[in-house]
């Protein structure tokens, strides 16, 4: 049965977007949406994003589009920006977890847009992973999590961004970034000026784009204070543990790229000293440093190279770790340490791949938290279990 027909009949279909794969259902059918929560094992208080094909769809899902949203719509839609808007009465409660707002996005991916058009309904669509696991960036990842649970996955190859959309609340007088993502705070500020950013690790709101708090109007300062003291999170999803492989993740960090490389190497050597099997996700520069400094008897298993060249035998993986394979350091290098976009693009796939190595610990290198780097660092912290409650599965 074609994907669009399955969706019209209330079934679930996983589909590619430019960010990550989504798990789609007819957003106007409460039973179909309920099946999403079941398939993912997702807590019902975490609302879903509604995907529409165009501005007409946006107008049907939102009760009202505030004036400051229009410039953002013109600039970033279609694309990896999700807007939180007042909710129209056609949106069922289960989609928004009872909130009076709804998150909407127009994906840019041609397959996603065609699927919405062919099915003729807006698609509620969280990332197509089981709750708590890294979001899927290939159809194979979706299959890992959803085999036997959903009837169809539409394979559109690898996702361009590899990280989810930016979730931006535009219902107040100042836009609030609820989840950093593929559209950076800097890009948003270039269109609408200062924005608030929720920092889930500290449960505070940080003002972006202002040099001194005194340059803000009183009303903006009030909002900053209000948001930082607020009880319930404005984006319920932020409180849950996310993106977490089974293997514990430790973050290596430092004030600049070189310092991070040295910290990654030091953490790896410490872990080896403690007798742990180590997997590393880092920049190419760090990979070179590590290759030079491995203690005698240790080998680097570069999973990336093994993957790039099919003729190379795959490195040993989880099920039965022989004494021999315990002498490997598993490694994936994402690209230059100056380019957070490749780190962001590869993170989720690398976490899944390194998790399958059966290592005792994954050491993942941080990046500068500007541009898409902010979203990368946010996901990395969550993968390491920071700033969030344990996953509610």
7 binds, among Mg ion, ligand TXA, none (CB under 5 to 8 A by kind): none
**Which listed range, 17-25, 60-68, 369-377, 379-387, lies at the site for ligand TXA (CB under 6 A)?**
17-25
Number of residues that bind Mg ion (CB under 5 A): 1
Contact status: 22 vs ligand TXA (CB under 6 A)? yes
Task: Transcribe 299-327 into DSSP letters.
Answer: EEEEHHHHHH-TTSPPPP-TTS--TTGGG
Distance between CA atoms of residues 111 and 93, nearest Å: 28
Contact call for residues 113 and 53 (beta carbons, < 8 A): yes
Decide if residue 378 touches ligand TXA (CB under 6 A): no
Q: How far apart are CA 79 and CA 126, in angstroms?
A: 16
CB of 122 vs ligand TXA, minimal distance in Å: 12
Identify the residue among 236, 254, 316, 335 touching ligand TXA (CB under 6 A): 236
By the rule CB under 6 A, 277 interacts with ligand TXA: no
82 binds ligand TXA (CB under 6 A): yes
Of residues 61, 94, 96, 341, which one binds ligand TXA by CB under 6 A?
Answer: 96
Among 108, 48, 113, residue whose Cα is nearest residue 80: 108
E-only strand ranges, 101-189: 101-105, 123-124, 152-153, 166-169, 176-179
Q: Does 372 bind ligand TXA (CB under 6 A)?
A: no
Interface residue with Mg ion, options 127, 252, 283, 341 (CB under 5 A): 127
H or E, element range at 345: helix 340-355
Choose the stretch contacting Mg ion; rule: CB under 5 A; options: 124-132, 292-300, 316-324, 352-360.
Answer: 124-132
CB 50 to ligand TXA: min, Å: 8
Q: Which of 12, 32, 77, 102 binds ligand TXA (CB under 6 A)?
A: 102
Phi/psi at 363 (nearest 5 deg)?
Answer: -100, 120
Are 23 and 146 in contact by the 8 Å Cβ rule? The answer is yes
Answer yes or no whether residue 349 interacts with ligand TXA by CB under 6 A.
Answer: no
| Beta-ladder partners of 67 | none
* Category of 21 on φ-ψ map: left (φ > 0), alpha (ψ -120 to 50) or beta: beta
41 phi, psi to nearest 5 deg: 70, 40
Six-digit token string for 71: 């410039």
84 scored as a contact of ligand TXA (CB under 6 A): yes
Binding residue (CB under 6 A) for ligand TXA from 109, 141, 179, 328: 179
Minimum distance, C-beta of residue 126 to Mg ion, in the bound complex (Å): 5
CB closer to ligand TXA, 247 vs 378: 378
List of residues contacting ligand TXA (CB under 6 A): 17, 19-20, 22, 46-49, 82, 84, 96, 99, 101-103, 105, 125-127, 164-165, 167, 178-179, 234-238
């Amino acid at each position: 049965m074609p994907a669009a027909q399955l969706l019209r009949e209330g079934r679930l279909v996983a589909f590619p977007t430019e960010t990550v794969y989504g798990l789609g259902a007819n957003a106007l059918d409460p039973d179909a949406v309920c099946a999403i929560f079941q398939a993912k094992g997702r807590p019902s208080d975490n609302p879903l994003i509604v995907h529409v094909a165009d501005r007409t769809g946006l107008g049907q899902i939102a009760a009202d589009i505030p004036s400051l949203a229009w410039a953002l719509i013109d600039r970033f839609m279609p694309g990896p920006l999700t807007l939180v808007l007042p909710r129209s009465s056609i949106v069922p409660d289960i989609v928004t977890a009872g909130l009076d707002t709804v998150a909407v996005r127009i994906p840019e991916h041609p397959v996603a847009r065609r699927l919405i058009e062919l099915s003729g309904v807006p698609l509620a669509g969280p990332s197509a992973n089981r709750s708590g696991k890294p979001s899927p960036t290939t159809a194979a990842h979706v299959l890992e999590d959803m085999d036997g649970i959903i009837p169809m996955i539409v394979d559109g190859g690898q996702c361009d961004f590899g990280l989810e959309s930016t979730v931006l609340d535009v219902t107040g007088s100042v836009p609030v970034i609820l989840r950093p993502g593929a559209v950076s705070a800097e890009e948003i500020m270039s269109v609408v000026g200062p924005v608030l950013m929720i920092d889930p690790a500290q449960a505070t709101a940080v003002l972006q784009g202002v040099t001194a708090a005194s340059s803000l109007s009183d009303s903006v300062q009030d909002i900053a204070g209000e948001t930082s003291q607020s009880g319930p999170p404005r984006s319920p999803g932020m409180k849950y543990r996310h993106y977490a492989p089974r293997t514990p993740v430790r973050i290596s960090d430092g004030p600049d790229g070189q310092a991070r490389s040295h910290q990654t190497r030091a953490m790896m050597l410490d872990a080896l000293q403690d007798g742990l099997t180590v997997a590393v996700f880092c920049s190419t520069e760090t990979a070179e440093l590590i290759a030079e400094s491995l203690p005698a008897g240790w080998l680097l298993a570069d999973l990336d190279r093994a993957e790039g060249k099919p003729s190379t035998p795959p490195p040993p993986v989880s099920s039965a770790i022989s004494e021999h394979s315990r002498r490997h350091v598993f490694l994936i290098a994402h690209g230059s340490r100056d380019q957070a976009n490749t780190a962001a693009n590869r993170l989720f796939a690398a976490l899944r791949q390194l998790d399958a190595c059966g290592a005792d610990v994954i050491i993942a290198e941080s990046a500068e938290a500007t541009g898409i780097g902010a979203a990368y660092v946010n996901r990395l912290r969550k993968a390491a279990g920071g700033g969030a409650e344990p996953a509610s599965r």
